[in-house]
Amino acid sequence: MAFQISLQPGGQHFSAEPEQTLLDAALAAGLLLPHGCRNGACGACKGKVLSGEIDPGAPASAVLSDAERAAGVTLLCRAMARSDLQLEVRGVTRVGDFPVKKLPCRVQRLERAADDVMILDLRLPASEAFQFRAGQYIDFLLADGARRSFSIANAPHDAGHLELHVRKVPGGRFTTQVFESMKERDILRFEGPLGSFFLREDSRAPIVLLAGGTGFAPLKSIVEHAAHLGIARPMTLYWGSRDRAGLYMDALAREWERTLPGFHYVPVLSGTDADAGWEGRRGLAHHAVMEDLPDLSAHEVYACGAPGMIDAARKDFIERCGLPEDAFLADSFTFSTT
């Protein structure tokens, strides 16, 4: 018997089967809840149970604090309904007209942008229209059913191909293949578009873009999409890396600053032993945001990077800078090894 789920404050409704996660049930109903990895590692799909009973699944201990659990917060990608529910979930939108597809693609270019970053350019089938929102991602479908997720770095108006930024993960099954054995004209399969991280085009708030490492990829899509549409909202990119090599498209970001009205670029290095000649900002990228913008109450933040960076930025921006909770939009990168 399906249970009835209602969402606050938006008032949306959907049904969920007992063995269906709340996230999967919402997506099947055409509701796009905030989410990222879909395996309980990133924490992007947190929601609060206001009434009713759930089976919370087995989330990683680092994702939910004891205080959050005591307050009824759960991970929607793991939790299943055990009664009718009322949930508090912010930032809910509708899937819209962009269907999720499973498609083949062909590798048309491999370009090493840094020692541990590969630009992977994929040609899509000419017979299949593929639409996505700036900031979304795809899942590569591996032979044994495993998946690997990567954000789309090109803008939606340039959708005849997909540009991905792949960081080599030590022991990473798929990334090792990309760096060591993949070649042009190889065929891959993927599913997409996926994710609730995308540019909210109807907002007029100034934008802060916060990237860690290859978290630059979806933000590149957002910047290029905004430029294509002529969106005039002020936009500042803070790109954090351990060293200068990690700012693998630094020249492109500086070109945006030179040519795009209202766009500013702030690179930030966190390493202390390298790049002795660096004259730019040092420390954590989200700390640089707080130094420059101590009041974020009228802003919208798009953050992409490692879970630790995302969690720290969310907490500090909301608690210390007055950022509204629903104005923090994030995509948290997690990594899988063999």
- Identity at 297, one-letter amino acid code: S
- Name the one residue in this structure whose structure tokens are 């269906």: 20
Q: What is the pTM of this model?
A: 0.79
If asked whether residues 111 and 86 sit together in one domain, one would say no
| CATH of residue 216 | 3.40.50.80
| CATH of residue 174 | 2.40.30.10
If asked whether residues 107 and 139 sit together in one domain, one would say yes
If asked whether residues 212 and 298 sit together in one domain, one would say yes
Residue 134 belongs to a domain: yes
Whether 194 contacts 136, CB under 8 Å: yes
* Structural domain span for residue 78: 3-94
CA atoms lying within 13 Å on the CB side of residue 248: 21
If asked whether residues 253 and 311 sit together in one domain, one would say yes
Q: Which residues contact 255 (CB under 8 A, 6 or more apart)?
A: none
Report the alpha-carbon distance of residue 278 to residue 281 in Å, rounded: 8
If asked whether residues 212 and 263 sit together in one domain, one would say yes
Whether 55 contacts 79, CB under 8 Å: yes
Residue 319 belongs to a domain: yes
Q: What is the DSSP letter of 136?
A: -
Whether 68 contacts 50, CB under 8 Å: no
If asked whether residues 296 and 185 sit together in one domain, one would say no
If asked whether residues 150 and 119 sit together in one domain, one would say yes
Report the alpha-carbon distance of residue 180 to residue 261 in Å, rounded: 41
Residue 337 belongs to a domain: no
Q: Helices (DSSP H) in the chain: which residue ranges?
A: 22-28, 66-70, 173-180, 216-229, 250-259, 285-292, 307-321
Cis before 9 (ω within 30): yes
Report the alpha-carbon distance of residue 236 to residue 57 in Å, rounded: 39
C-alpha distance from residue 115 to each of 8, 188, 214, 253 (Å)? 46, 23, 13, 19
**What's the pLDDT score for residue 29?**
86
If asked whether residues 17 and 70 sit together in one domain, one would say yes
Residue 153 belongs to a domain: yes
If asked whether residues 58 and 146 sit together in one domain, one would say no
Residue 88 belongs to a domain: yes
Q: Of 40, 60, 94, which residue is a domain's last?
A: 94
CA atoms lying within 13 Å on the CB side of residue 256: 23
The tokens describing 135, both together, are: 């900031």
If asked whether residues 43 and 112 sit together in one domain, one would say no
If asked whether residues 243 and 164 sit together in one domain, one would say no
Question: How many domains does one find in the chain?
Answer: 3
**What's the pLDDT score for residue 262?**
96
If asked whether residues 216 and 270 sit together in one domain, one would say yes
Tens digits of pLDDT across the chain (338 residues) = 899 999 998 788 999 999 999 999 998 888 888 887 777 777 778 899 999 999 998 765 577 888 888 999 999 999 999 999 999 998 777 765 578 899 999 999 999 999 999 999 999 998 888 999 999 999 999 988 899 999 999 999 988 899 999 999 998 899 999 999 999 999 999 999 988 889 988 889 999 999 999 999 999 999 999 999 999 899 999 999 999 999 999 999 999 999 999 999 999 999 876 567 888 999 999 999 999 999 999 999 999 999 899 999 999 999 999 999 889 999 876 655 44
Residue 75 belongs to a domain: yes
| CATH of residue 45 | 3.10.20.30
